[in-house]
Amino acid sequence: MIEKAKILVVDDEEVVRLSYFRTLSGERCSVEVVRDGKDALQMMGQQPFDVVLLDLRMPEMDGMTVLKAIKEKWPESEVIIITGYPAVDSAKEAVTLGAYGYLAKPVGPDDVINAANGAMMHKRWALRCEQQTQCVATR
């Protein structure tokens, strides 16, 4: 049996959090929502998430700072930046820091589902390749 994907939604706008929560909640994922970067890092410390949907502009701690912290402490977690202020420079920085994806708001339900599914497939593939490499190395 495949374990449910654990997804964390981080956005300072309640309407966005609720929208993503409703879109992703279901049989194949477990979804938690928080409103800022500090809460996101606390949640990650309690239970690392498979996928993090992360707003770029938030008060106190911006999305890039949160992305850096997540990739340093939980590199196996896939992060998707979702922003209402898209820019080529921030997209490049996000990818350089290890983000799986970068989406510009408004983001429809299908986009959220496709991005989360893509990130989960990427994570599972990476873990599978890592396990196979370890198996080959021990032979």
Per-domain boundaries in the chain: 5-138
SS3 content of the chain, % helix, strand, coil (to 5): 50, 20, 30
The average confidence (pLDDT) of the chain is 89
Residue 124's pLDDT band, with cuts at 50, 70 and 90, is: confident
Residue 132's pLDDT band, with cuts at 50, 70 and 90, is: low
How much is the pLDDT for 136? 44
Mean pLDDT (whole number) for 83-111: 95
Domain spanning 5-138, CATH class: alpha beta
Residue 133's pLDDT band, with cuts at 50, 70 and 90, is: low
Q: How far apart are CA 32 and CA 46, in angstroms?
A: 12
Task: Provide the Cα torsion 24, 28, 30, 35; round to 10°.
Answer: -20
Kindly tell me if the per-residue pLDDT of 84 is higher than 50.
yes
